[in-house]
Each structure stands twice: as C-alpha cells, then as structure tokens.
Amino acid sequence: MKFFYFDNSATSSPKPQTVYESVDYTLKNLNTNPGRGGHQLGISCATAIYKVRKKIQKFFNVDNELNIAFTNNSTTALNFAIKGSLASNDVVITSNIEHNSVLRPLFTLKEEINLEVEVLPYKDFIENFILRIENPSLKKPKMLILNHMSNVNGVSFDLEKIGLICNRHKIMFIVDGSQSAGLIPIDMKAMNIDILCFTGHKSLFGIQGTGGICIQNGISLKNIISGGTGSHSTMLSQPQEMPDLLEAGTLNAPGILALGCGIDFIDSIGLAEIKSHEKFLKEEFIKGIKKINENSINSGNEARIILYTSFGENDGPIISLNIKGISSSDLSTYLDEEYNIITRSGLHCAPLLHQELKTDLTGATRFSFGYFNTIDEILYAIDALQKIVIQS
Ligand SMILES: Cc1ncc(COP(=O)(O)O)c(C=O)c1O
C-alpha cells in the first residue's frame, strides 16, 4: 500500500538505500561487541565506529572525535548534558519551543535540587535574553539550553548570534539539534556551542536507537549512568575520559554504522540542496492551503484552515494546522484512514509552544516533510484537505 508519509519530524522515512544495506551488512558481517574483544571482528567493528565518530566530528565541527559519545537518541544525550552539568541552585535559561526531552529533565531538577529554570518566549528571544543576562539584580545563569528548530512550527534560532552572546558572558551553551541536524548546517565552533545533542533517526537518516552528544574541549560532565566500557576494567568507578565516560554498555553498532551512511548520503546531496527541496515543498503546501481558504471565502464561508508555521530562511519544513470544526486527532485519523496520509496530531511533546499558539487544548495536526517527499505527494495532500474542508 502506498503511504503518503508526512511525519518526518517524528522519524524520517524512507531511509537512503545504503542505510538499509548497512544494517543488514553489519548484522551479517560485523556482528560483534565493539571495544569488548581484541579479535579481528571486534577490531574491525570498533574501527568502523571510530570512522563514524570522525564523520560526525567533521559534520558538526567538533573539537575532537573522542568528545562524541553515542547514545540511544537525543533524549538520553540531553539528560546527560543537563543532569551531568547542573548543581543545586544553578540558574538555567531556556525557551518556550523546547521539547519535553529538555523541559522534563529541567523541571525534574527544579524539584529535586532547586534548579532555577527561566523560560523565555522564542519571539524576540535575543533581545529578551540580553536584557535578562545584563540585569545586574538577577542571578547569573550557568547555562542556556535551546532547541535549534521547533518540531511544531519549524521556527529556528540564530545560533551564531546567540552563541556569541553566551561566549561573551561565559554562559554554557547547549543545543538540541534533534530537528535541525541534517537539515541546516550546525558548526559548533562558529556557533560557540559547548554541547550539541542530536538524534540519528530524523534528518540524519539513521535508524531509531541512535543519537549522540558532542562536547567541546574544556567542558566536563558528570556521568549519570555507570557500567562496562571494555576499558580500565579494574576500576570500580566510571572512567573519566570521553567517550567512555558516557558510553556505558554495549553500543548499537548496526545503528551507528547506518548513521554513518546517513551522513554520507547527506554529504553526497549537500545540505543546501536538501534544504532547498524541502523549502520548495513547504512553499507549495502553504500555497495550496491558502487556495483552500480562498475557495472557502469565495463561496461565502470563512477561511477554515489555521496554519502554524514560520518563514525564516532557516526555518524547517514543519507545518501544523487545524481545520475549524474538526479536532486535530480526528483530522489526523481521517487523513490516515481515508487517504493513507501520515501526520501527527496532538501536542508533539512541546506543551509550552502549544500554549503560546493557543492550541494547548486542541492540539494541531502536523505535516513534516522530508527529502524523499515529492511535489505530487504535496498536491495529493492539498487535494485531500480541500475535500475534507468541503465535506465537513
Ligand atoms: C526538538 C526535539 N527535541 C528532542 C526530541 C527527542 O528526540 P528522540 O525521541 O529521538 O530522543 C525530539 C523528537 O521529536 C524533538 O523534536
């Protein structure tokens, strides 16, 4: 059955052919526990993983490939970054476009160790951030943690400008690159990012169960998980050098090697080309929605579709919408069952942005496009939405 897959913000699908082939190859030919044996297979697998560290180092301009630890996803990486660097009474600034994988660790620490969490609105963020940190009567924040790109409306922050401010004020700068990595360039050095957390299975085209944390020189974290690393086995505490500090337990070798193929695929197409294709799809989709609203108005009715997206140069191909009179979950289910169109309804784990958009009670239906979507698929979705508006 042909599905029209517009849920790439949840996980990208399909993957490049090389990613599928890599998982198959690794399981059949390199299926050992990397770093746990001195045998030929173990060394080959560990060497292949090291090469993926090098690719990631280059892709995000990380100081040192050994400062990259692989994790299961960005949620784990964000927990490492947040819980591994904050202490009682520290002040953290964040924004209202954050995902629960940032908000929940922060608000858990607020309860547990009296962390002070300040949430600034994403609109006019830079102006408000400067006002806040230059206010001498307020406590100096230790950290700024920001979601690079919203998974609800695609809005993105200008990390270069924000990183410069953090650097001048000596504020640790942590970035959640879950939505942006693989879509727009992230240069840790140029953007003064201290810690970058990424997930492998979205725009980096890896598979689920992969992600990582990249730490610049001079930043140290406490580990929140301890266990076997295949190194320093006589030590009863966690080795302190990276990546072993954060890589307790067996690595997901098939996933990591497939992630390397995802990055090779991006490099072969180029980020600019990927972004330009997805921007084109987004523009055509918006054009179609505007036409549906115009059709409603021309036939004497009100515009029915409310859009939640943003149009900055680096904003992502992520559009949430509501059709007046239909709940977001009904719309998503109807699109799925009648048209094989895959979207995601609800709050997208981003409750504060939905509050700001005034959709916290209704949710919204999200369309998120990916490199493999085509213009024909966009036109099909527009046609389906037009029919639903007419019928409802
Ligand atoms: C902005 C953002 N941060 C973090 C995450 C969490 O990613 P994962 O579930 O891969 O850990 C997501 C997932 O949708 C996201 O959109």
pLDDT tens-digit readout, 318-355: 999 999 999 999 999 999 999 999 999 999 999 999 99
pLDDT 10s digits, 148-166: 999 999 999 999 999 999 9
The sheet that has 365-368: what strands, in order across it?
A: 305-308, 318-323, 365-368
- Ligand 1 pocket test, pick from 71, 76, 99 with the greatest ligand atom count within 8 Å of Cβ, gives 99
8 touches ligand 1 (CB under 6 Å): no
Does 45 have pLDDT greater than 90?
A: yes
* Predicted pLDDT at 35: 83
Does 374 have pLDDT greater than 80?
A: yes
Q: Identify the architecture of domain 4-12+271-391 in CATH.
A: Alpha-Beta Complex (3.90)
Cα of 42 to ligand 1 centre, how many Å?
31
* Predicted pLDDT at 2: 93
Residue nearest atom 16 of ligand 1, based on CA coordinates: 151
Cα of 5 to ligand 1 centre, how many Å?
18
Residue nearest atom 7 of ligand 1, based on CA coordinates: 74
Does 36 have pLDDT greater than 90?
A: no
* Predicted pLDDT at 302: 94
Going by pLDDT thresholds of 50, 70 and 90, the confidence category of residue 241 is very high
Domain locations along the chain: 4-12+271-391, 17-269
Cα of 196 to ligand 1 centre, how many Å?
13
Does 310 have pLDDT greater than 80?
A: yes
pTM: 0.97
Cα of 101 to ligand 1 centre, how many Å?
7
* Predicted pLDDT at 38: 85
Least confident of 25-39, 53-67, 124-138, 283-297: 25-39
Does the domain formed by 17-269 have CATH 3.40.30.10?
A: no
